[in-house]
Amino acid sequence: MKKFIILVIGILTIMSCENSEYGISSDPMDSSQSYESEDSYTSEDGSRENDDVKSKTTDSRKLIWKANLEYQVSNVDESTASIQKIVKQYDGFISSMDLSSTNYQITNTIQIRVSNEKFDELIEELKSEAIFIDELTIKSNDVTEEFVDIQSRLKTKKEVRDRYIDVLRNKAGSVKDIIAAEEAIRIITEEIEAKEGRLRYLKDKVKFGTITVTIYQEVEYKAEPKIYEKPFVKKFIEGLKSGWSIVTAFVLFIANIWPIVIIIGLFIWKRKWILKRIGR
């Protein structure tokens, strides 16, 4: 059975070295390990410098598409409602919305998720709401290599796990050997689940592109309202109320310490007699 234990330890060591060599995180949400190869084009007036960026990519590539679109509108509320309708027409959904305002501007930042097939069409439709386009940026992140790598490693780890399970079922051993095999299976299963989680995250990002739309409305400058100051009569009435509260609080305080007050009063009244007695 020593060979069996050595086999378990050896495979676990190889798997550990394999993960550290490629620097792959087990966190499904950790996108820092993505293999990035970005294609991007930016235009201040909203026009594309390269309309064939997406068309040149093949179906086999796994691309995460992101776009940032900022433009001026005549009315933020009306444009927001219009954008919501447009997004529904393209089978997308709004994942977040942030409305803010200043003395001179109202702004709404909307994050949209939509399938890659309708990504470009939706952007063109959203641009129709603009009075003036400040920025349009589109980027792609190629995660094909990471996608294929995770699938390959998943297949290998599942095969190793199946071999452990087969050995555990068909090869009798001591309790120590069984515990070692079960621990190996547990570790491999956790790694499989982590990689499956990362794969699901990548599939979601690849399937749905993200468009961040910032719309703003210029408004006539309005000074901030002055601090409200209470009139004298109201202050006087509140002062009387506060004074009465102090008087009642003092009376209640005296009522609670009446024995001490009586003792102090007697001392003051008979102080000469008390001091004379003490002096003797």
Concatenating the DSSP letter of every residue in 124-189 gives HHHHTT-SEEEEEEEEEEE-HHHHHHHHHHHHHHHHHHHHHHHHHHHS---HHHHHHHHHHHHHHH
What pLDDT is attached to residue 82?
Answer: 93
At residue 90, the pLDDT reads 93
Mean pLDDT of 64-75: 93
Residue 178 φ/ψ, nearest 5 degrees: -65, -45
pLDDT of residue 209: 92
Q: What is the mean pLDDT of the chain?
A: 76
Q: How confident is the model at residue 96 (pLDDT cuts 50, 70, 90)?
A: very high
Q: Which range has highest mean pLDDT (9-23, 48-62, 100-114, 224-238)?
A: 100-114
Report the DSSP pairing between strands 208-218 and 63-72. Answer: parallel
Q: In this predicted structure, what is the pLDDT of residue 212?
A: 95
268 pLDDT more than 60: yes
Mean pLDDT of 80-108: 92
Whether 31 has a pLDDT exceeding 70, the answer reads no
Whole-model pTM over 0.85 = no
The DSSP call for residue 81 is H
- Joined together, the tokens standing for residue 266 give 């007697």
Highest mean pLDDT among 65-74, 200-209, 217-226, 227-236: 65-74
The label of the residue with tokens 């009063």 reads 265
Give the CA dihedral 66, 72, 74, 77, nearest 10 degrees: 40
Strands of the sheet containing 132-142, edge to edge, are: 38-43, 132-142, 63-72, 208-218, 105-115, 93-101
